[in-house]
C-alpha cells in the first residue's frame, strides 16, 4: 500500500471511529424515547434484537463460517462469554442511569474509562506507567473523592460503567482480531439470551411488559434497539482497524462529551459547584493522559524511523 493509500485509509478510519462515538454520544436520547419501557425490559430487547440483527448480517455477508470456526476454539468461546457478561453489566447500568436521571454521571464513567484502562494495564498486564500516567490517575482518584465527600453521593453508576467497559476492552484485547465484530456481538448476544429470557419472565411477572402496548411507532423504536446497538460497534471496528491508536484514543472523548452536553443542557440535570470541580479534575487527568499519549507515540515513531535508516 502506498503512503497516499495508507493516509486515505487512516482518514477513513478516523471518520468511521468518529461516527461510532458520535452515535454513542447521543444514544441516551434514543433510549429516553422508549419510555415507559423500563431499563430491565429494554436490556432484554436490546439483547434479543441484537442477536436477530447479527444473524441477518451474517447471512447477508455470508460469514457464518467465521462464527462456526470461533465456536470450535474453546478459549475464544470462554472469552466471548466473559465479554458478554461484562457488556450485559455495562448495558444494564447504562440504561438504569439514563432512565433515572443520571446521564451526567454516566458520562463521567466514560470519561474515567481511559484511566481504568491504564490501571488494568498495570494490574493485569503488569505494564509500567510513566510519570504523567501516574499523575493522571491521581487526579482521577481525587475527582472521585471530591464527588463522594463534597457532592455527597457515591458515583456507583460512573464507576461501574468505567470498570465494566474497561475490562470489556481488556477481554477484547485478549481475543484480538481472531473474532470479527459481527461474530463477536452475535456470540455475546447468544450467551446472554438465557439471562434475557429469565429477565423477561421476571419483568412480565412483576411490573408487566410494555413492548407492543404503546402503538406501532413505539414498537418499531424498541425493535430498532438491535440496530442501534450493532451499527456503532461495527463502525468502531472498521475505524479501529484503519486509524492509528492515538487517533482512536483522542476520539473516545467524543461520546462522553456529547452525553455530558445531553445531560446538562438538554435534560437539565443538576450541576452544582462540587460536581463541576469533580469533573474538572477528571478533565485535567484526561488532558495529561492525552498529551502523554501523543508525545509517547511521536517519540516511538521517531525511534522507529531512526532504526529504519540505520
pLDDT in tens, 121-170: 778 877 777 888 788 888 888 888 888 887 677 889 999 999 998 888 88
Give the separation between CA 230 and CA 165, rounded to whole angstroms: 16
Give the separation between CA 282 and CA 139, rounded to whole angstroms: 6
By percentage, how much of the chain surpasses pLDDT 90? 48
- H helices of 100-224, in order, are 103-123, 131-149, 156-175, 181-205, 216-223
Measured between alpha carbons, how far is residue 212 from residues 31, 37, 209, 296 in Å? 16, 10, 8, 53
pLDDT number for residue 155? 86
Tens digits of residue pLDDT in 206-224: 999 999 899 999 999 999 9
Mean pLDDT of 48-71: 94
- H helices of 62-102, in order, are 64-71, 74-99
Q: ∠ CA 164-283-15 to the nearest 5 degrees?
A: 70
Q: Looking at per-residue confidence, does 91 or 244 come out higher? A: 91
Q: ∠ CA 8-232-216 to the nearest 5 degrees?
A: 140
Distant-in-sequence, close-in-space partners of 79: CB < 8 Å, separation ≥ 6: 171, 174, 175
Amino acid at each position: 500500500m502506498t503512503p497516499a493509500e495508507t493516509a486515505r485509509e487512516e482518514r477513513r478510519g478516523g471518520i468511521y471511529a468518529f461516527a461510532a462515538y458520535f452515535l454513542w454520544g447521543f444514544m441516551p436520547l434514543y433510549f429516553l424515547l422508549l419510555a415507559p419501557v423500563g431499563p430491565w425490559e429494554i436490556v432484554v430487547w436490546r439483547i434479543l434484537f441484537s442477536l436477530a440483527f447479527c444473524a441477518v448480517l451474517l447471512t447477508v455477508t455470508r460469514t457464518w463460517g467465521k462464527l462456526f470456526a470461533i465456536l470450535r476454539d474453546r478459549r475464544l468461546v470462554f472469552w466471548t462469554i466473559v465479554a458478554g457478561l461484562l457488556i450485559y453489566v455495562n448495558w444494564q447500568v447504562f440504561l438504569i442511569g439514563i432512565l433515572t436521571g443520571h446521564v451526567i454521571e454516566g458520562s463521567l464513567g466514560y470519561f474515567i474509562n481511559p484511566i481504568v484502562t491504564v490501571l488494568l494495564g498495570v494490574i493485569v498486564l503488569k505494564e509500567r506507567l510513566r510519570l504523567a500516567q501516574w499523575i493522571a490517575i491521581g487526579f482521577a482518584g481525587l475527582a472521585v473523592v471530591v464527588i463522594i465527600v463534597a457532592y455527597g453521593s457515591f458515583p456507583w453508576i460512573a464507576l461501574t460503567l468505567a470498570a465494566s467497559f474497561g475490562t470489556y476492552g481488556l477481554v477484547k484485547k485478549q481475543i484480538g482480531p481472531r473474532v470479527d465484530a459481527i461474530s463477536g456481538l452475535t456470540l455475546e448476544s447468544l450467551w446472554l439470551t438465557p439471562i434475557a429470557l429469565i429477565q423477561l419472565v421476571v419483568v412480565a411477572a412483576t411490573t408487566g411488559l410494555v413492548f407492543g402496548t404503546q402503538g406501532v411507532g413505539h414498537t418499531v423504536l424498541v425493535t430498532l434497539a438491535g440496530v442501534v446497538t450493532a451499527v456503532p460497534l461495527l463502525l468502531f471496528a472498521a475505524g479501529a482497524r484503519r486509524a492509528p491508536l492515538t487517533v482512536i484514543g483522542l476520539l473516545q472523548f467524543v461520546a462522553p462529551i456529547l452525553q455530558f452536553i445531553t445531560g446538562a443542557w438538554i435534560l437539565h440535570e443538576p450541576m452544582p459547584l462540587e460536581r463541576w470541580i469533580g469533573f474538572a479534575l477528571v478533565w485535567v487527568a484526561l488532558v495529561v493522559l492525552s498529551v502523554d499519549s501523543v508525545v509517547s507515540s511521536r517519540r516511538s515513531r521517531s525511534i522507529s524511523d531512526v532504526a529504519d535508516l540505520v
